[in-house]
């Protein structure tokens, strides 16, 4: 959709990436590291100073009430990866063997299923209950069988902007203990929850964490998606298995970025804690600007995405609608159907008319896009 947006000079609210630059501090630090010649391989697991800074952040944000021995240990529990994408890939290869089943929730981020299938596994898709996009846990329990190996959760959720609650995490914990399963928790939007809602990280739940890989991305947090920097947090035993595969996928991750991010976390941690209010303001700019449009605006509790229902505007299916919107109207958005299981898409097209907009953009861009969308 970004290619199509560029071809047609459409305002690009499709692919999720910020329009604004990464903080000047981070750019200075990465340049400094490069100029000082810190350009060779880092240790495979990541630079110790970065592992330690991530652990400190996790303690401050999620583990303040935990006993010392329950807290994350950066050196033994965290591995730096080339984006969350590598972390997800490696976590899946670590867990999934021939004929294993993994439960994922549709609409689902697109990188889970191919990684599961390439590992010889099979996805069991469960649709989230729309329009709240919540998990039906009774259905999850019915789907679990002897082949089930893992459940992948993603909160805050791409593409819907929904988030999981404390009760979701408690139910998940009970299920994985009962059926001896693992969890991959994609938390790349962890610092973007709105209206005072708390992000329920798996890292808050020590018992659940014992069976989990928790994945995050600095691209989202520090507006540098092109750096492809992420990490995976997991208990000691799972981390040591994860690292055996990471070693042969990329071996290690871009050294200057690790140095810069470690300094950023140490000296400018307020960037992380202010991200939620920064994005809440963006969300509200877009919602207010669309108030008089004919789209129905769905709730966005986290991420930098907002869903719009266009049933009052067009009969086209969501792919056709997004193509038309990009080529003829001048605003690019993402259709929701590709986030569903292939066999369900036709059926989905007939009943759902929902698109995703990314609001990680300058206010002027959001106003311009909304002005166009209000004319439909
Ligand atoms: N998971 C989700 C839900 C995402 O939205 C993204 C970003 N596209 C990723 C994983 C991948 O993150 P990264 O760019 O750090 O690989
Ligand atoms: N995760 C981003 C999105 O959902 C983009 C990443 C990609 O294009 N693969 O838009």
- In the chain, the domains with their CATH numbers are 2-21+273-373 (3.90.1150.10), 25-267 (3.40.640.10)
pTM (2 decimals)? 0.97
**16 touches ligand 2 (CB under 6 Å):** yes
Nearest protein CA to atom 5 of ligand 1, as residue: 158
CA distances (Å), 139 to each of 127, 135, 175, 217, 358, in order?
10, 8, 12, 30, 30
Tokens encoding 374: 């209000």
**217 touches ligand 1 (CB under 6 Å):** yes
Nearest protein CA to atom 4 of ligand 2, as residue: 16
**12 touches ligand 2 (CB under 6 Å):** no
- Cα Dmax for the chain: 58
The mean pLDDT of 281-289, rounded to a whole number, is 98
**83 touches ligand 1 (CB under 6 Å):** yes
DSSP letters spanning 16-78: ---SSPPPHHHHHHHHHHHHTT--SPPPTT--HHHHHHHHHHHHHHH-TTS-GGGS--HHHHE
Q: CA 300, CA 294: separation in Å to the nearest integer?
A: 18
The mean pLDDT of 135-141, rounded to a whole number, is 98
Query: Which pLDDT score is estimated for 342?
Result: 83
**225 touches ligand 1 (CB under 6 Å):** yes
Nearest protein CA to atom 15 of ligand 1, as residue: 83
The ipTM, to two decimals, is: 0.96
Give the distance (Å) from ligand 2 centre to CA of residue 15.
5
> Which distant-in-sequence residues (6+ apart) come within 8 Å of 23 by Cβ?
222, 223, 264, 268, 271
* 89-120: pLDDT as tens digits: 999 999 999 999 999 999 999 999 999 999 99
**158 touches ligand 2 (CB under 6 Å):** yes
Q: What percent of the chain has pLDDT over 70?
A: 99
């Amino acid at each position: 959709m970004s290619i199509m947006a560029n071809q047609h000079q459409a305002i690009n609210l499709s692919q999720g990436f910020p329009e604004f630059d990464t903080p000047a501090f981070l750019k200075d630090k990465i340049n400094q590291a490069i100029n000082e010649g810190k350009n060779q391989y880092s240790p495979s697991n990541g630079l110790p100073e970065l592992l330690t800074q991530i652990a400190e952040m996790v303690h401050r944000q999620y583990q303040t009430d935990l006993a010392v021995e329950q807290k994350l240990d950066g050196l033994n529990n965290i591995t730096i990866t080339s984006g969350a994408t590598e972390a997800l890939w490696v976590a899946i290869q670590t867990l999934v063997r021939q004929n294993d089943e993994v439960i994922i929730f549709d609409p689902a981020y697109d990188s889970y299923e191919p990684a599961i299938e390439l590992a010889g596994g099979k996805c069991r898709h469960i649709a989230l209950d729309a329009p709240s996009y919540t998990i039906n846990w009774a259905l999850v329990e019915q789907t679990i069988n002897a082949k089930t190996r893992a459940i992948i959760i993603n909160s805050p959720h791409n593409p819907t902007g929904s988030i999981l609650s404390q009760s979701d995490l408690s139910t998940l914990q009970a299920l994985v203990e009962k059926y001896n399963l693992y969890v991959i928790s994609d938390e790349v939007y962890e610092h973007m929850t709105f209206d005072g809602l708390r992000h329920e990280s798996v890292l808050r739940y020590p018992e659940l964490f014992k069976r989990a890989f928790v994945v995050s991305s600095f691209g989202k947090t520090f507006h540098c998606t092109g750096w492809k920097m992420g990490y995976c947090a997991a208990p000691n035993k799972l981390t040591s298995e994860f690292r055996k595969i990471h070693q042969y996928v990329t071996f290690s991750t871009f050294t200057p970025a690790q140095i810069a991010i470690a300094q950023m976390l140490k000296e400018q941690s307020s960037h992380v804690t202010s991200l939620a209010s920064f994005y809440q303001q963006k969300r509200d700019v877009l919602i207010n600007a669309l108030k008089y449009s004919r789209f129905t605006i769905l709730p966005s509790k986290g991420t930098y995405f907002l869903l719009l229902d266009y049933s009052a505007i067009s009969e086209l299916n969501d792919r056709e609608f997004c193509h038309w919107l990009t080529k003829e109207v001048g605003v690019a958005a993402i259709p929701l159907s590709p986030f569903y299981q292939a066999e369900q898409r036709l059926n989905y097209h007939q009943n759902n008319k929902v698109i995703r907009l990314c609001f990680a953009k300058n206010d002027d861009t959001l106003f311009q896009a909304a002005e166009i969308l209000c004319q439909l």
